[in-house]
Structure 1
Amino acid sequence: MASEIKVTPYQEKVYALLKQIPSGKVSTYKHMSDLLNSSPRAIGGALRRNPFDDVPCHRVIASDGYIGGVGDWSKAPSGMNCSKKLEKLRAEGVLFNEKGILTEKDRIWCDFEV
């Protein structure tokens, strides 16, 4: 018997927003948290707990265009490995410079339906 995946109402809202980000675009922890009247860290927490394959967590970056959050993104202790995140985004046409900064700001998605 398969057990039901349980997520909080907040996580459901975060995942619903994530599913709206089209391939080739990214959004930011800050933009999403502003929409949900929460904090960027709360968004990050929901992303770390994402149990669903169809929720594109790799499409969320820092508001300054940085691929990861706080600290050394190449050695992040939790969440998706940043090299894997970069690889997925590169495959979608989203590019970052050698310092992990988004190269094309028009890739940022803000057209969410809440």
Structure 2
Amino acid sequence: MPLSFSARVLELTKRIPKGKVSTYGDIAKALGNPKAARAVGNALNKNPHPVTVPCHRVVRSGGAVGGYVSGKKEKIALLKSEGIKIKRGKVADFDNIRWIFRKR
């Protein structure tokens, strides 16, 4: 039985390495539906396993930190704990830190 969209979002999010970020749109595109960024956000908002599925590593397009179930301050703290610099609510050096999924 194929995985649901939400389950596929969570599985893909697990692949974002520590110290990297990806966008909601990047995940949607990797799943074959580039217009589903909002649906990716909804799936991550319901993430039942935030310890093993690092949804804090998913940011808005352009590197803006965006929301987080435990609050924006917590998301920023988690990103900083992984060595990611945040300036004015955005990931500094976003283009070099951005994780782009490769086809398997």
- So what's the TM-score if we normalise by structure 1? 0.78
Partner of 1:4: none
Task: Find the counterpart in structure 2 of residue 33 from structure 1.
Answer: 28
The structure with more strand, counted as a fraction of residues? 2
Q: Distance in 2 between matches of 1:24 and 1:113?
A: 21
| The structure with more radius of gyration | 1
Structure 2 counterpart of 1:47, from 34, 44, 48 = 44
Aligned length: 98
Whole-Å Cα distance in 2 between the matches of residues 44 and 111 of structure 1?
17
Counterpart of 2:82 in structure 1 is 92
Name the residue aligned to 2:64. Answer: 66
Q: Distance in 1 between matches of 2:15 and 2:102?
A: 7
1:13 and 2:8 correspond = yes
**Runs of 4 or more above 4 Å deviation:** none
The range that moved more, 51-60 or 104-113, is 104-113
User: Can you give the 5+ residue segments of structure 2 that lack an aligned partner in the other structure?
Assistant: none
CA distance in 1, matches of 2:16, 2:25: 15
Rounded to whole Å, the distance in 2 between the matches of 1:93 and 1:107 is 10
Go from structure 1 to structure 2 and tell me whether the alpha carbon gap of 1:55 and 1:112 turns closer, same or farther (over 3 Å shift): farther
The normalised TM-score by structure 2 is 0.85
